Amino acid sequence: MLLRHPPFALLIGILTVLAGLPLLGLPNTALNFLFFVLVIALAGQGWNLAGGYGGQFSFGHAAFFGVGAYTTAILQVRYGVNAWLGFGAGIALGSFVGFVIGSLSFRAGLRGSYFALVTLAFAEVLRILANAAPITGGAAGILIKLDVAPANFQFASRAVFFWIALALVGAVLILNRMIEQRRFGAYLVAIRENEAAARALGVNVLAVKLQAISLSAAITAAAGALYAQYFLYLDAAIAFGPWISVEALLAAIIGGAGTVLGPLLGAGLLHGLGEITKLAAGRVPGIDLVVYGIVLILVVAFAPRGVIGLFTKGDKGGEPTSHG
Amino acid sequence: MYSPAIIFEAVLNGLMTGAVYALIALGLTLVYGVLHIINFAHGALLTAAMFAVFALHVAFRVDPYVSILIVTPLFFALGYGLQRFVIGPASHGDDQNILLVTLGLSILIENGLLAIFRSDTRTIDVPYGFNVVEVGPLLLSQPKLIGLAGSVAVAILLWLFMVRTDTGKAIRAVAKERLGATLMGIDVAHIYAITFGLGCACLAVAAALLMPSFYVNPRVGNAFVLVAFTIVVLGGMGSIAGALIGGLFIGMVESVSGLLLGESLGQIGIFLIFILVLLLRPTGLFGAKA
Amino acid sequence: MTNKTPILSGDADRRTILKGALAGAAIIASPAVLRAQTPTVKVGILQPVTGALAQDGGFGRLGAEIALKEINDAGGIKSLSGAKLEMVFADARSNPEAATQEVEKLNGEGVAAIVGGFASPICLAASQAASRYDLPYIVDVGVSDQIVNRGLKNTFRLGPGFGTVTTAAVTNLVKLNEAAGKPAKTVVLVHEDGLFGSGLAKLMATELPKHGFEVLETIAHPTPSRDMSNVALRIRALNPDLVIPSSYYGEFVLLARTMQQQRIRPKGIYAVLNGAASNFRFVKEFPDAAENVMDCNHWHDPRKAKSAAVMKAAADAGSVWAYNIPLNYSCVKLLADAVEKAASRDRAKIIEALTNSTFEDHIMPYGPTKFVNGQNTGAGPVNTQVQGGDIKVIFPESFANAKPVFPVRA
Q: Can you give the pLDDT at residue C224?
A: 79
Collapse the DSSP code of A240 into the 3-class scheme (helix H, G, I; strand E, B; otherwise coil) and give the result. Answer: helix
Task: Tell me the chain A residues in contact with residue B115 when contact means C-beta distances shorter than 8 Å.
Answer: 284-287, 290
**CB–CB contact C226 B223 (8 Å):** yes
Site from A246, A290, A307, A321 to mutate, B interface, most B CB atoms within 10 angstroms? A290
C-alpha–C-alpha distance, residues A218 and C305, integer Å: 60
CA distance B264 to chain C (A): 5
Distance from CA of A48 to the nearest CA of C (A): 20
Instruction: Give the sign of the dihedral formed by CA C153, CA C85, CA C54, CA C166.
Output: positive
Q: Is C325 helix (H, G, I), strand (E, B) or coil?
A: helix
d(Cα A181, Cα A160) in Å, to the nearest integer?
32
Nearest CB to A233; choose among C49, C96, C222: C96
* Closest residue to B139, CB basis, from C220, C224, C261: C261
- Going by their DSSP bridges, the two strands C85-91 and C382-387 should be labelled as unpaired
Tell me how far apart the alpha carbons of residues C6 and B286 are, in angstroms, rounded to a whole number.
51
- pLDDT number for residue A227: 96
A287, B111: Cβ pair inside 8 Å? yes
Those residues whose C-beta lies under 8 Å from the C-beta of residue B245, and which sit 6 or more positions away, are B22, B235, B285, B286
- Pairing relationship of beta strands C390-395 and C155-157 according to DSSP bridges: unpaired
Q: What is the CATH number of domain C163-297+382-399?
A: 3.40.50.2300
Residue B10: its chain C contacts at CB < 8 A?
230, 233
- Candidate from A250, A287, A301 with C-beta closest to B90: A301
Instruction: State how far the Cα of C317 lies from the Cα of A158, in Å rounded to an integer.
Output: 41
Q: Is B166 left (phi over 0), alpha (psi -120 to 50) or beta?
A: alpha
Q: Which CATH architecture has domain C37-160+304-376?
A: 3-Layer(aba) Sandwich (3.40)
B275 lies within 8 A of chain A by CB: yes
Chains that touch C (3 or more CB pairs under 8 A): A, B
User: B90-138: per-residue pLDDT in tens?
Assistant: 988 777 788 889 999 999 999 999 999 988 888 898 888 888 888 887 8
CB within 8 Å: B227 and C226: yes
Q: Of B168, B42, B154, which Cα lies nearest the Cα of B109?
A: B42
Chain mean position to CA A145: 26
Residues facing residue C219 across a β-bridge? C190
The predicted model gives C99-117 an average pLDDT of 94
Spell out the residues 6+ positions from residue B84 whose beta carbon is closer than 8 angstroms to its own: B189, B190, B192, B193
Chain A closest-CA separation from residue C121 CA (Å): 7
Q: Where are the alpha helices (DSSP H) in chain B?
A: 4-35, 42-60, 64-81, 88-91, 95-117, 142-164, 166-176, 178-183, 188-210, 222-235, 240-261, 263-280
CB contact under 8 A, A323 and B95: yes
pLDDT per position as a tens digit, C151-160 = 899 999 999 9
Q: ∠ CA(C11), CA(C16), CA(C21), 5° rounding? A: 140
- Residue B100 forms contact with C (CB below 8 Å): no
C-alpha distance from B36 to closest chain C C-alpha (Å)? 28
- Residue numbers of C between 37 and 96 with CB closer than 8 Å to A: 49-50, 54, 57-58, 91, 95-96
- Residue C34 pLDDT exceeds 70: no
Structural domain boundaries in chain C: 37-160+304-376, 163-297+382-399
Q: Provide the 10 A C-beta neighbour count for residue C214.
A: 12
Contact map slice: B 175-214 vs A, CB within 8 A: none
Cα gap C147→C335, rounded to integer Å:
18
Give pLDDT, residue B104.
Answer: 93
Q: Is B101 on the interface with A (CB under 8 A)?
A: yes
Indicate the domain borders of chain A: 8-311
**What is A252-267 written as a DSSP string?**
HHHHHTTSSSHHHHHH
Rounded Cα–Cα distance for residues A126 and A237 (Å): 10
> Mind telling me how many Å the CA of B34 is from chain A's nearest CA?
12
Cβ atoms of A323 and C34 closer than 8 Å? no
Asked which of B84-93, B156-165, C326-335, C378-387 is least confident by mean pLDDT, the reply is B84-93
pLDDT tens across C46-80, in order?
999 988 888 899 999 999 999 999 999 999 999 99
- Give the fold, CATH level 3, of B4-122+129-280: ABC transporter involved in vitamin B12 uptake, BtuC (1.10.3470)
- Edge-first strand order for the sheet with C41-47 is C85-91, C41-47, C113-116, C137-139, C155-157, C375-376, C371-372
- Cβ neighbours for B151, distance < 8 A, ≥ 6 positions apart: B19, B20, B22, B23, B205, B206, B209, B244, B247
ipTM attached to this prediction: 0.87
* Residue A67 near residue A254 (C-beta atoms within 8 A): no
Q: Shortest Cα distance from A236 to chain C (angstroms)?
A: 9
pLDDT of residue C11: 35
- Distance between CA atoms of residues A62 and A43, nearest Å: 9
Cβ contacts of A212 within 8 Å, gap of 6 or more? A49, A50, A53, A54, A56, A188
**Beta-strand (E) ranges in A61-147?**
142-143
List chain A residues with pLDDT less than 70. 1, 281-282, 313-324
Cβ burial of A82 (10 Å; 0-12, 13-18, 19+) is: middle
* A8-311 carries CATH number 1.10.3470: yes
Give the residues of chain B that fall short of pLDDT 50: 289-290
Taking a C-beta distance cutoff of 8 angstroms, is the pair A139, C193 a contact? yes
Contact A104 B279 (CB under 8 A): yes
Q: Do A166 and A15 contact (CB within 8 A), yes or no?
A: yes
**Measuring CA to CA, which residue among A66, A97, A68 is closest to residue A236?**
A66
pLDDT recorded at residue A282: 65
Judged by CB atoms closer than 8 Å, whether chains meet at B263 and C230 is answered as yes
- C14 falls in which pLDDT band (50, 70, 90)? very low
Q: Which of C2, C202, C229, C264 to mutate to test the interface with B (most CBs of B within 10 A)?
A: C229
B28 contacts B229 by C-beta, under 8 angstroms: yes
